[in-house]
Amino acid sequence: MQLLRLRTVALVGVLGVAGMGLVGVGAHAVFSATTSSAQTITGGPVDMTLFSPFHGVKGNYTPNIRFADLGPEGSTFTTWDQLVTVTNRSEIPVSDITATPGDSTDGSPASVAFANEVSLCEVSLDRVIYNGPLHLAPALAIDDALAASPGPGNTLDYAFNIFAGHALTACGTGTPGTWPAPAGFSNAPPLNPDAEGGVINPSLMVSATG
Protein backbone atom coordinates (compact mmCIF):
# COMPACT_ATOMS: atom_id res chain seq x y z
CA MET A 1 0.00 0.00 0.00
CA GLN A 2 1.42 3.34 -0.95
CA LEU A 3 -0.01 6.53 0.49
CA LEU A 4 0.54 9.99 -0.98
CA ARG A 5 0.00 12.97 1.23
CA LEU A 6 -0.36 16.28 -0.61
CA ARG A 7 0.41 19.62 0.94
CA THR A 8 -1.47 22.80 0.12
CA VAL A 9 0.85 25.66 -0.76
CA ALA A 10 -0.48 29.19 -0.75
CA LEU A 11 1.22 31.76 -2.96
CA VAL A 12 0.59 35.41 -2.24
CA GLY A 13 1.16 38.05 -4.91
CA VAL A 14 2.98 41.14 -3.68
CA LEU A 15 1.56 44.55 -4.44
CA GLY A 16 4.11 47.34 -4.28
CA VAL A 17 3.11 51.00 -4.36
CA ALA A 18 5.66 53.77 -4.75
CA GLY A 19 5.31 56.79 -2.53
CA MET A 20 4.01 60.18 -3.67
CA GLY A 21 6.51 62.47 -5.36
CA LEU A 22 6.32 66.09 -6.41
CA VAL A 23 6.36 66.99 -10.10
CA GLY A 24 6.81 70.67 -10.66
CA VAL A 25 5.42 73.35 -8.35
CA GLY A 26 2.00 72.79 -6.84
CA ALA A 27 1.43 69.52 -8.71
CA HIS A 28 1.93 65.88 -7.77
CA ALA A 29 1.59 62.42 -9.25
CA VAL A 30 1.43 58.88 -7.83
CA PHE A 31 3.59 56.21 -9.44
CA SER A 32 2.65 52.57 -8.86
CA ALA A 33 3.96 49.18 -9.83
CA THR A 34 2.44 45.73 -9.45
CA THR A 35 4.49 42.53 -9.17
CA SER A 36 3.42 38.93 -8.96
CA SER A 37 4.98 35.55 -8.38
CA ALA A 38 3.93 32.17 -9.72
CA GLN A 39 5.12 28.60 -9.33
CA THR A 40 4.19 25.16 -10.63
CA ILE A 41 4.23 22.41 -8.00
CA THR A 42 3.99 18.76 -8.96
CA GLY A 43 3.00 16.02 -6.51
CA GLY A 44 5.40 13.21 -7.25
CA PRO A 45 4.06 9.66 -7.00
CA VAL A 46 5.36 7.31 -4.31
CA ASP A 47 7.07 4.36 -6.01
CA MET A 48 8.33 1.59 -3.73
CA THR A 49 9.43 -1.91 -4.72
CA LEU A 50 10.35 -5.11 -2.88
CA PHE A 51 13.07 -7.67 -3.40
CA SER A 52 13.98 -10.92 -1.63
CA PRO A 53 16.88 -13.25 -2.45
CA PHE A 54 14.93 -16.32 -1.30
CA HIS A 55 14.49 -19.12 -3.81
CA GLY A 56 11.06 -19.24 -5.42
CA VAL A 57 10.08 -15.62 -4.72
CA LYS A 58 7.79 -14.15 -7.37
CA GLY A 59 7.35 -10.47 -8.15
CA ASN A 60 10.79 -9.12 -7.24
CA TYR A 61 11.30 -5.43 -8.05
CA THR A 62 7.54 -4.78 -7.91
CA PRO A 63 5.34 -3.52 -5.04
CA ASN A 64 4.11 -7.08 -4.33
CA ILE A 65 6.13 -10.25 -3.87
CA ARG A 66 5.10 -13.79 -2.98
CA PHE A 67 7.23 -16.39 -1.27
CA ALA A 68 7.19 -20.05 -2.25
CA ASP A 69 4.58 -22.22 -0.53
CA LEU A 70 5.75 -24.39 2.37
CA GLY A 71 4.47 -27.60 3.90
CA PRO A 72 3.32 -29.83 5.14
CA GLU A 73 4.99 -28.67 8.37
CA GLY A 74 5.19 -30.24 11.82
CA SER A 75 4.00 -28.77 15.13
CA THR A 76 7.38 -27.03 15.43
CA PHE A 77 8.57 -25.30 12.25
CA THR A 78 10.12 -22.13 10.87
CA THR A 79 10.03 -20.36 7.51
CA TRP A 80 13.51 -19.08 8.40
CA ASP A 81 14.22 -15.37 8.46
CA GLN A 82 12.96 -14.12 5.13
CA LEU A 83 14.88 -11.00 4.10
CA VAL A 84 13.07 -8.28 2.16
CA THR A 85 14.64 -5.10 0.80
CA VAL A 86 12.34 -2.10 0.42
CA THR A 87 13.52 0.44 -2.16
CA ASN A 88 12.17 3.94 -2.56
CA ARG A 89 12.30 4.57 -6.30
CA SER A 90 10.47 7.90 -6.00
CA GLU A 91 12.02 11.28 -6.65
CA ILE A 92 10.74 12.33 -3.24
CA PRO A 93 11.68 11.06 0.24
CA VAL A 94 9.15 8.96 2.15
CA SER A 95 8.51 8.65 5.86
CA ASP A 96 6.43 6.67 8.36
CA ILE A 97 7.60 3.28 7.04
CA THR A 98 5.10 0.86 8.58
CA ALA A 99 4.61 -2.90 8.33
CA THR A 100 1.16 -4.39 8.84
CA PRO A 101 1.04 -8.19 9.32
CA GLY A 102 -1.99 -10.10 8.11
CA ASP A 103 -3.29 -13.62 7.76
CA SER A 104 -6.12 -15.33 5.93
CA THR A 105 -7.48 -18.89 5.98
CA ASP A 106 -10.03 -21.04 4.22
CA GLY A 107 -12.21 -20.81 7.33
CA SER A 108 -11.91 -24.46 8.36
CA PRO A 109 -11.52 -25.16 12.12
CA ALA A 110 -8.01 -26.53 11.59
CA SER A 111 -6.92 -23.47 9.60
CA VAL A 112 -8.40 -21.06 12.14
CA ALA A 113 -6.59 -22.91 14.93
CA PHE A 114 -3.36 -22.80 12.90
CA ALA A 115 -3.70 -19.04 12.41
CA ASN A 116 -4.30 -18.47 16.13
CA GLU A 117 -1.33 -20.59 17.24
CA VAL A 118 1.44 -19.56 14.84
CA SER A 119 3.97 -16.84 15.76
CA LEU A 120 5.75 -13.98 13.97
CA CYS A 121 9.27 -12.61 14.39
CA GLU A 122 9.93 -9.27 12.74
CA VAL A 123 13.30 -7.50 12.69
CA SER A 124 14.37 -4.19 11.14
CA LEU A 125 17.73 -2.42 11.44
CA ASP A 126 18.79 -5.30 13.73
CA ARG A 127 16.05 -4.36 16.19
CA VAL A 128 13.21 -6.65 17.26
CA ILE A 129 9.99 -5.04 15.99
CA TYR A 130 7.62 -7.81 17.05
CA ASN A 131 7.93 -11.29 18.49
CA GLY A 132 4.68 -13.04 19.35
CA PRO A 133 1.40 -14.48 18.06
CA LEU A 134 0.81 -13.56 14.42
CA HIS A 135 -2.90 -12.88 14.89
CA LEU A 136 -2.13 -10.26 17.56
CA ALA A 137 0.58 -8.44 15.61
CA PRO A 138 -0.28 -4.74 15.07
CA ALA A 139 0.93 -2.31 12.41
CA LEU A 140 4.35 -1.11 13.58
CA ALA A 141 6.95 1.36 12.35
CA ILE A 142 10.02 -0.33 10.87
CA ASP A 143 11.92 2.86 9.96
CA ASP A 144 11.52 6.63 10.10
CA ALA A 145 12.31 7.63 6.52
CA LEU A 146 13.87 6.66 3.20
CA ALA A 147 15.70 9.14 0.98
CA ALA A 148 14.65 9.90 -2.56
CA SER A 149 15.99 7.78 -5.40
CA PRO A 150 18.78 7.15 -6.29
CA GLY A 151 19.95 7.52 -2.70
CA PRO A 152 22.05 6.85 -0.76
CA GLY A 153 19.65 6.00 2.03
CA ASN A 154 16.74 4.92 -0.18
CA THR A 155 16.73 1.23 0.81
CA LEU A 156 15.71 -0.65 3.94
CA ASP A 157 16.22 -4.30 4.89
CA TYR A 158 13.85 -6.10 7.19
CA ALA A 159 13.24 -9.75 7.95
CA PHE A 160 10.26 -11.77 9.13
CA ASN A 161 9.79 -15.36 10.20
CA ILE A 162 6.58 -17.34 10.63
CA PHE A 163 7.17 -20.10 13.16
CA ALA A 164 5.84 -22.30 15.94
CA GLY A 165 7.52 -24.02 18.85
CA HIS A 166 11.19 -24.04 19.83
CA ALA A 167 12.33 -22.62 16.48
CA LEU A 168 15.46 -20.69 15.52
CA THR A 169 14.66 -17.07 14.60
CA ALA A 170 16.40 -13.69 14.41
CA CYS A 171 14.31 -12.58 17.41
CA GLY A 172 15.20 -15.47 19.71
CA THR A 173 13.48 -14.66 23.00
CA GLY A 174 13.89 -10.91 22.50
CA THR A 175 11.05 -8.52 23.19
CA PRO A 176 10.06 -5.59 20.91
CA GLY A 177 12.69 -2.88 20.97
CA THR A 178 15.57 -5.23 21.82
CA TRP A 179 18.78 -4.21 20.04
CA PRO A 180 20.69 -5.99 18.71
CA ALA A 181 18.19 -8.70 17.91
CA PRO A 182 19.29 -11.77 19.93
CA ALA A 183 19.10 -14.54 17.34
CA GLY A 184 18.36 -17.89 18.96
CA PHE A 185 15.64 -20.37 19.78
CA SER A 186 12.20 -19.04 20.64
CA ASN A 187 10.11 -20.00 23.62
CA ALA A 188 6.85 -20.03 21.63
CA PRO A 189 4.52 -23.03 22.09
CA PRO A 190 4.21 -25.61 19.31
CA LEU A 191 1.03 -26.06 17.31
CA ASN A 192 -1.74 -28.03 19.00
CA PRO A 193 -3.34 -31.10 17.40
CA ASP A 194 -6.37 -29.00 16.42
CA ALA A 195 -4.19 -27.18 13.82
CA GLU A 196 -3.33 -30.38 11.99
CA GLY A 197 -4.26 -30.13 8.31
CA GLY A 198 -4.78 -26.36 8.50
CA VAL A 199 -3.61 -23.87 5.87
CA ILE A 200 -2.73 -20.22 6.42
CA ASN A 201 -1.79 -17.38 4.09
CA PRO A 202 0.31 -14.87 6.05
CA SER A 203 1.15 -11.50 4.55
CA LEU A 204 3.09 -8.35 5.45
CA MET A 205 2.10 -5.01 3.93
CA VAL A 206 4.57 -2.13 3.99
CA SER A 207 3.25 1.42 3.66
CA ALA A 208 4.93 4.81 3.53
CA THR A 209 3.98 8.46 3.24
CA GLY A 210 5.56 10.87 0.81
Going from N- to C-terminal start, the domains of the chain cover 48-209
pLDDT in the model for residue 133? 96
pLDDT in the model for residue 30? 58
pTM of the model: 0.78
Mean pLDDT by 10 residues, the chain (210 residues): 30 35 47 70 79 89 88 92 91 88 91 94 95 95 88 90 96 96 96 93 84
pLDDT in the model for residue 55? 86
pLDDT in the model for residue 136? 96
pLDDT in the model for residue 203? 85
Cβ contact 179:189 at 8 Å:
no
> What span, in angstroms and rounded, lies between the C-alpha atoms of 170 and 178?
11
pLDDT in the model for residue 29? 54
Cβ contact 23:29 at 8 Å:
yes
